[in-house]
Amino acid sequence: MMKTVACVVQDGFAPFEFGLACEAFGLDRSNDGVPNFDFRVIAPHPGVVKSKLGFSINVEHDLSFAYEADLVVLCPVPREYWPNIDPLLLDVARDAVARGAWLLTICSASFILGAAGVLDGRRATTHWMYADIMAEMYPQIDIDPDVLFVQDGRIITSAGTAAGIDACLHLLRQELGAELTNRIARRMVVPPQRDGGQAQFIDRPIPVVQSDSLAAVADWAVEHLRDDLGVDQLAARALMSPRTFARRFKAEYGATPAAWLARQRVLHAQRLLERSDLSLEQIADECGFGSAAVLRQNFSRVLGTTPTAYRARFSCVDDAESSAA
């Protein structure tokens, strides 16, 4: 059972992410029947450690405790440090993996694991804004930018900011069980498990392609999403055979026409859920899904959440009405 937790910070640490690690593992919750952890904040260079917001904390402990801790939590690393991660942090990460300790990163702290090589051949995540950068720097890692966190063995990488809470609760659930973790979540006033992933927060504009003929067809398709569109119809508009159109479309858009159409319909559904009070059946009809059931199926597959949950989180209809009033 997990008893000791080392939380690693360095200059430029993010206060919120650091705070949520302290909240998840450092507070005394014995009154709720939750066992306490031996929780220590440590740093590569003890003493005054500056945050990214201009204030500092005094860290008394060096990294020695990390080499015996059951869990090592790595807080986000400032972007300017990514190309040259402190070798002391790399050693801590490698040691934790070698001895089978838990290793949890919040947001950009996953770049430490990338630099240490412990994620090679593994699945991981980071903040969606940094996923492409991480993929370019560490092509050996299977990076999933759409999820809140990833567990691969005893390594847990989480997405940006609040997704660190989800990762911490996920780990606590494995160590303490669902009942105690639910108590912790209630104290933190957060859901024990969140639905969905990062995909629902990512702004994905319609791709720009080089082919004028395909761009024109794509623009037309977006304007006619509620129609029953297929490769034959799209190919005819492009004055190509269906086989040639499908091959060229996938080469330029990175997806089959059917997959691309499904994604554009989900994007349109997102906009309608955010900006209208149409029912799910009406939105399904407007987007070309045909029924609310098909809308839900596609929405869940692409974004990892339901249309109803998405609307509850992102609807701005009330805001628009308030502004108009």
Domain ranges across the chain: 4-199, 212-323
Strands (E), the chain: 4-8, 38-42, 47-50, 56-59, 71-74, 102-105, 123-124, 142-143, 149-152, 155-158
Q: In tens digits, what is the pLDDT along the chain, a chain of 325 residues?
A: 899 999 999 999 999 999 999 999 999 999 999 999 999 999 999 999 999 999 999 999 999 999 999 999 999 988 999 999 999 999 999 999 999 999 999 999 999 999 999 999 999 999 999 999 999 999 999 999 888 899 999 999 999 888 999 999 989 988 998 788 888 988 888 876 665 566 555 555 444 444 556 888 988 999 999 999 999 999 999 999 999 999 988 888 778 899 889 988 998 998 899 889 999 999 999 999 999 999 999 998 887 789 998 888 778 776 544 444 4
The tokens for 303 are: 């974004």
pLDDT of res. 305? 83
pLDDT of res. 253? 78
CATH of 4-199, one of 3.40.50.880, 3.10.105.10, 3.10.20.30, 3.40.50.720: 3.40.50.880
Residue 48 sits at φ, ψ, to 5 deg, of: -75, 120
pTM of the model: 0.67
pLDDT of res. 38? 98
pLDDT of res. 321? 47
The CA distance from 138 to 117, in Å, is 9
What residues does 131 pair with on adjacent strands?
Answer: none
- Taking alpha carbons only, the member of 118, 117, 104 closest to residue 76 is 104
Q: What are the Cα distances from residue 100, in Å, to 39, 96, 151, 316?
A: 19, 6, 14, 46
pLDDT of res. 323? 42
The tokens for 56 are: 């500092």
CATH of 212-323, one of 1.20.200.10, 1.10.10.60, 1.20.120.1810, 3.30.70.980: 1.10.10.60
